[in-house]
Structure 1
Amino acid sequence: MRIAYVTTFDARNLTINNNWSGTGYYIAQSLANQFSTLDYIGPLTDPFNLKAVRKLKNHYYKLFQNKDYRKDADPLTLKNYARQVAKKMNCIKSDIVFSATVNPIAYLECEQPIVFWADGTFANIHNFYPHYSNLPQEVIKDWHRMEELALQKCKLAIYSSDWAAKSAIYNYGANPTKVKVVPFGANIESSFTFETIQDAIQSRPTDQCKLLFIAVDWIRKGGNVAYQVAKQLNQSGLKTELTIVGCQPMIDEPLPDFVKSLGFISKSTVEGKKQIHNLISESHFLILPTLADCTPIVFCEANSLGVPCLSTTVGGIPTMIQNDVNGRLFHKNAAISEYCDYIAYLFSNYSDYRNLAIAAFNEYQSRLNWSVAGKKVKNLLTEYIV
């Protein structure tokens, strides 16, 4: 089976693929490992006149409506993408068009069946993420139309969470038989075996809790909650260290000694990958009390190193994290004490923590890695298309 893999960005090279935290690259690799040929279509380009029109729209909405224009669903942009994809499809003999997002295929006309694998719908993210909350009516209308067209055209709509899949069905009337759920995998390569995971878990201190917060958005990702949890644990007598990666902490007091702020670390370099790998492996928990998220890949990455995750019951996260299996989820308005009580219990019953950490690794091995995800996608394509 020959797959035409469509992305608006360049999915061939991880070092220059900053889009979607590298997920587009790893989707490609998961497909390449399952199919005989993967034809890359992308990056897709915009002509100068189209960029000029979008720039004018951006200025107009900001000046006259105080709204935030976003180009992602602009019909002129989408039709331009579709033309480029169709032209390239005429030069190859792919059996299936497979897109990492709906943007390039919403207006695509081709003989081949269309499949996409996304982490959410516009109905999911509108007024959920802050930067999708002040949009002009034209943009809102165009974005809903893009989702509807993509769901009408596709043979299969694959989502990374039940939350997103349900939105496709209930918000856009998608046929439930063609909407499927396949979680994404970890965007790091872990060579850990069960034995090495056990060693890593055993090496973590039993008299100190090491929390890790990885995010580029302190506010949306719940950085202040993570900080307050670490602070309260220290006050209660459990020595706790909070390591922050990706952003600067925004707190109303001098940074205490129990906080290590490391700034942004790029996974596109060997050194960056190794540093993040070690930071995760040495931690007891990844803590990400997010207010809005689809399916954060960092949970898979933490589980790949036997690290349970503490997060919230928002977006698609409940598909990834199961309570007392590979972590624990809390209400987004949960009291700080709820996090602290859970962590304190596990440190008082440390064998339970070790069992949870091993179970987290098992979740990665059985469900949250790109090899398993790629095989599931291949099975879906074989069952519903071939």
Structure 2
Amino acid sequence: MIYMLKVYKLILRCFGKEYDYSHSKLLSRYYGRIFGRKLKKIDGLDFIIAPAGSSQIAFLKTTIPIIYLSDTTYDQLKSYYPNLNKKTIINDEDASLIERKAIEKATVVSFPSKWAMDFCRNYYRLDFDKLVEIPWGANLFDDIHFANKNIIQKNSYTCLFLGVDWERKGGKTALKAIEYVRQLYGIDVRLKICGCTPNQKILPTWVELIDKVDKNNVDEYQKFIDVLSNADILLLPTIAECYGMVFCEAAAFGLPVVATDTGGVSSIVINERTGILIKDPLDYKHFGNAIHKIISSVETYQNYSQNARIRYNNILHSGQLG
């Protein structure tokens, strides 16, 4: 079954199209049969947890309670990402049906953001009792030691751009924002880009590129920790973001955030408390002024930094779910 779908995907790729068979009704029914048989052989299960598993549970026949976890739903995603179906072939009818059946099948449906919760409640007309908002914690293996960050007597400041998709994460706006701060305020602000490569050949001297790190590799994980530890601000003018684990990770290090107020970001970053959120992802001047506001005041910087770490300890730590 999966082999046939993969072959079809390869054929379409020859014509410059991508095929997402993960939301195929054919595959979802197949999952339902396979997992249904396996569950019958297992005794004593109290519940099933299905992270991003709409296709796996939509046609699953079981009396075991199901907890469905996701950062959004297909029906929300297709309107939020306008180019989704232009780049990828998805059977819209199948995908919507699978999502709805998965939500109906689940005993509990959990999202990490108010943005996703509100959409799901209104679109699917769900009872409040079925929906639970549980923030996701930072994807870190160790408890991060926090020392109060200090920007007193700094000659230069580092903004960290961390992400794998240069365009969607707002890379061009980030570059313009840093250049704006440097020219208008005469401050030596630098941009460290980690995880992606800008789609332009010549970059300013104040830009540093760092390859994407594999956190499952011990040495690269330490490199990731060092990158976050040595940054002053996380800058992410993202165009679309369902949640953003990177914001949780920034909070662990007490990094103030300057980002776009979009999707589920505001469930992690509290505007004017742990960072500054901006409505327009293309307004580089607003981003630049936000950066200047944070680094030009020691009191503002330390308040944002300490508030971010407190929020990490209370809500954004992966151990909180336990």
Give secondary structure in 2 for the equivalent of 1:107: coil
Q: Residue 128 of structure 1 aligns with which residue?
A: 80
CA distance in 1, matches of 2:121, 2:249: 29
Contact persistence 2:182–2:188 (CA under 8 A): yes
What amino acid is aligned across from residue 363 of structure 1 in structure 2? R
User: Could you list the per-position Cα deviations for residues 128-177 of structure 1 after superposition, in whole angstroms to 9, with x for gaps in the alignment?
Assistant: 33662327897111111011101111110001111111222222233332
Contact persistence 1:68–1:134 (CA under 8 A): no
Shift of 1:179: 1.0
Shift of 1:54: 5.3
After TM superposition, the score normalised by the length of structure 2 is: 0.91
2:17 aligned with 1:78, yes or no? no
CA root-mean-square deviation: 2.3
Q: Residue 190 of structure 2 aligns with which residue?
A: 241
Q: Residue 29 of structure 1 aligns with which residue?
A: none
Alignment of 1:295-314 (within 5 A): 295-314=243-262
Contact persistence 1:147–1:172 (CA under 8 A): no
Shift of 1:333: 4.0
CA distance in 2, matches of 1:105, 1:170: 22
Shift of 1:342: 1.9
User: Could you list the per-position Cα deviations for residues 11-69 of structure 1 after superposition, in whole angstroms to 9, with x for gaps in the alignment?
Assistant: xxxxxxxxxxxxxxxxxxxxxxxxxxxxxxxxxxxxxx442145337746986xx8643
What amino acid is aligned across from residue 246 of structure 1 in structure 2? G
2:46 aligned with 1:95, yes or no? yes
CA distance in 1, matches of 2:51, 2:215: 21
Aligned residues: 319
Distance 1:89 1:261, change over 3 A: same
What amino acid is aligned across from residue 240 of structure 1 in structure 2? V
What amino acid is aligned across from residue 124 of structure 1 in structure 2? Q
**Structure 2, unaligned stretches of length 5 or more?**
none
Alignment of 1:182-221 (within 5 A): 182-193=134-145, 196-198=146-148, 201-202=149-150, 206-221=154-169
Contact persistence 2:23–2:91 (CA under 8 A): yes
How many percent identity over aligned positions? 25
User: Could you list the per-position Cα deviations for residues 253-277 of structure 1 after superposition, in whole angstroms to 9, with x for gaps in the alignment?
Assistant: 6222100011211111111111111
Q: Residue 291 of structure 1 aligns with which residue?
A: 239
Shift of 1:235: 1.4
User: Could you list the per-position Cα deviations for residues 174-207 of structure 1 after superposition, in whole angstroms to 9, with x for gaps in the alignment?
Assistant: 33320111111000134334xx421xx1278633
Q: Residue 225 of structure 1 aligns with which residue?
A: 173
Contact persistence 2:273–2:304 (CA under 8 A): yes
Shift of 1:103: 2.1
User: Could you list the per-position Cα deviations for residues 188-231 of structure 1 after superposition, in whole angstroms to 9, with x for gaps in the alignment?
Assistant: 134334xx421xx1278633221001111100100111111111
User: Could you list the per-position Cα deviations for residues 273-327 of structure 1 after superposition, in whole angstroms to 9, with x for gaps in the alignment?
Assistant: 1111111111111111111111110100010011111111111111111102221
Q: Residue 58 of structure 2 aligns with which residue?
A: 106
Distance 1:205 1:270, change over 3 A: farther
Shift of 1:339: 1.6
Moved more, 317-326 or 178-187: 317-326
